[in-house]
Structure 1
Amino acid sequence: MAVVGEFFADTANARRHPTVVECGWQLVADGDESLLQLSTYGSDQRASGKKVSQTLQFDREALVALIQIARQSFPGLE
């Protein structure tokens, strides 16, 4: 679980993951700024109850970069 500092284009082979999970979001106050927190939850098939698997936090600068990556990756995205 971490605050994302920067992005880079990964060249490793990747495939779609077989499991679909839920993702919660919330704003986290951090002094004068806010962080967007995304938390994924284990699949419905998980033996234990619903709980957070991973959490990432993004400050404004990281979100701007992520939006640019999304627009490059999915042309026509507004």
Structure 2
Amino acid sequence: MALVTELRTQPLQTVTKHSAVDCSYTVVAIDGQKFLQLDTYGSVERAIPGKKSQSLRFSPEVVQQLKQIIQENGL
């Protein structure tokens, strides 16, 4: 798992197509702060399809940053 506390922009050198996977979200409360957690699950090509693959937990500051990025980019 990773706790994301800051986002920065960095252009991609190459843009590739990604395969689709399932993703779930949870709002986690720790010490009075709320965090957004996203979990992705292995694709059908993986050794254990459907197994949790990656977890990203976003700090409240990063959630605000994501909202701003989404708004500024018309996403």
TM range (shorter): 0.7 to 0.9
Give the fraction of aligned pairs with identical amino acids, expressed as a percent: 36
Give the number of equivalent residue pairs.
75
Runs of 4+, deviation exceeding 2 Å:
none
For structure 2, the residue ranges without an aligned partner over 5 or more in a row are none
What is residue 36 of structure 1 aligned with on the other side? 36
Deviation at 1:49, TM superposition (A): 3.5
Q: Please show how residues 1-78 of structure 1 align to structure 2 within 5 Å.
A: 1-74=1-74, 77=75
Q: CA RMSD in A?
A: 1.6
TM-score using structure 2 length? 0.84
Q: In 2, distance between residues paired with 1:71 and 1:14?
A: 24
Alignment-mate amino acid for residue 27 of structure 1: V
For structure 1, the residue ranges without an aligned partner over 5 or more in a row are none
